Amino acid sequence: MPADIIIATRNNALALRETLLLLIPQISGRDRLLVADNGSTDSTASVCAELGVERIFVPDPGQAHAQNSAFGATCNEAVLLTDDDARPGPVWVERLKEPLLADDADAVVGGVALPCELAATLTTYERGLFFDIPTRPPTFEASPYLNGCNMGFRRAVLAEVVRGFDENLGPGRLGYMADTLFCQQILQAGGRVRFVEGAEVQHAIDPERLRLPALREKARRHGRSTAYVRHHWVHGDEPARVLLRLLKSICPLAAVRLHATGDHGISRRDDELTYRCALYRAGLALTLTRRRYDRLGANRFS
């Protein structure tokens, strides 16, 4: 049974080419491989043309926007997503689409592993920041999740549950949580999310993302993205409570920064406090804005 496989990319042609070369041998029958190009100005178009891969060019910023545009071009029952820096295994397409086409799940996620040589330089906590979860975690049944670099869903989900990713979230916008909110909306509607063993990708992240400034920016973006979801979808905390939590986080963060050394990696305390300060600052600002969803709802207000 066929699937549409979508790779989101922006100005990462060399990495994209490597991922496409791993995916092309897995395409069979009516499977379709689509590149959702979010405004690339490098050689992405040439790579797609050279390899004969369909490319959808979406100039407006935001990975979620590019992916949603690609969703509109899908025609098969299963939709699989990965990133340009993810390296799928040799049976990734077959394994990931199987439970969707058998109607055993509405959405699926596979394992993610960092390259061994890279993982060896990181602490356990730092590996967790990049979702280094190659096998089904024991907590998955209680806390299902989706990961945008290795996930899939039945195309009917777009018509029956949620129209697509929230385009204010994800890379190119607030930074994260587009896949998280999508997953929670599916679960809230009674959907089934399953972890698929044997559908692993290796996440070949840029080493620059492991430097302290980049990791702090990652924590800030994660905080702002979470604040957006809490305000607009969960209908979260009162302003006074958010302000109090912010004030309680500022001084400890300053103390951690004062004693920080080195430029590689990040301590758990630094990461958590950076995240909290960004979460509460953004949350405080959002209390002045109109909510974009009914509480725990699927579709955004127009």
Listed in sequence order, the residues at least 6 apart from 186 whose beta carbon sits closer than 8 Å to its beta carbon are 106, 107, 153, 157, 161, 162, 193
DSSP assignments along 2-65, one per residue: -EEEEEEESS-HHHHHHHHHHHGGG--TT-EEEEEE-S--SSHHHHHHHHT-EEEE--SS-HHH
Report the alpha-carbon distance of residue 249 to residue 260 in Å, rounded: 17
Percent of the chain with pLDDT strictly greater than 90 = 82
Whether 302 has a pLDDT exceeding 70, the answer reads no
Beta bridge partners of 80: 5, 152
- Under the banding of pLDDT at 50, 70 and 90, the label for residue 290 is very high
Same domain, 65 and 171: yes
Same domain, yes or no: 237 and 88? no
Note the pTM of the prediction, 2 decimals: 0.94
pLDDT per residue as tens digits for the range 131-181: 889 899 999 999 999 999 999 999 999 999 999 999 999 999 999 999 999
Identify whether 293 is part of a domain. no
Nearest to 186 by CA among 162, 154, 152, 156: 162
- Of 192, 207, 222, the last residue of a domain is 207
Q: Are residues 96 and 38 in the same domain?
A: yes
Per residue in 176-213, pLDDT (tens digit) is 999 999 999 999 999 999 999 999 999 998 989 999 99
Q: Per the structure, how many domains does the chain have?
A: 2
**Any domain includes 302:** no
Q: Is residue 107 part of a domain?
A: yes
| One domain, residues 44 and 102 | yes
Do 196 and 216 belong together in one domain?
A: no
**Is 294 contained in some domain?**
no
pLDDT at 282 over 90: yes
Q: What is the pLDDT at residue 301?
A: 58
107 lies in the same domain as 130 = yes
| 228 plus 189 within the same structural domain | no
Is 301 within the bounds of a domain?
no
31 plus 118 within the same structural domain:
yes
State the average pLDDT over residues 126-131: 90
Burial track 225-252 (b if 16+ CB lie within 10 A, e otherwise):
bbbbbbbbbeebbeeeebbebbeebeee
Is residue 66 in some structural domain? yes
Q: Helix, strand or coil for residue 287?
A: coil
Domain stops at, among 144, 176, 207:
207
Dig out the tokens for 25 from the structure: 């041998």
Residues 236-261, mean pLDDT to the nearest whole number:
86
Task: Print the domain residue range for 259.
Answer: 211-286
In a domain, 63, yes or no: yes
Are both 250 and 232 inside the same structural domain? Answer: yes
DSSP 110-144: EEEE--HHHHTTS-HHHHHHTT-B-S--TTTTTS-
Residues 66 and 108 reside in one and the same domain: yes
Mean pLDDT, the chain, whole residue set: 94
Residues 70 and 189 in one domain: yes
- pLDDT given for residue 7 in this prediction: 98
Choosing from 207, 241, 263, the residue where a domain stops is 207
Concatenated DSSP letters of 235-269: ----HHHHHHHHHHHHHHHHHHHHH---SB---HH
Residues 291 and 154: their CA atoms lie apart, in Å, by 28
The residue among 239 and 230 whose pLDDT is bigger is 230
The answer to whether residue 145 sits within a structural domain is yes
Digit-coded pLDDT (tens) for 17-56: 999 999 999 999 999 999 999 999 999 999 999 999 999 9
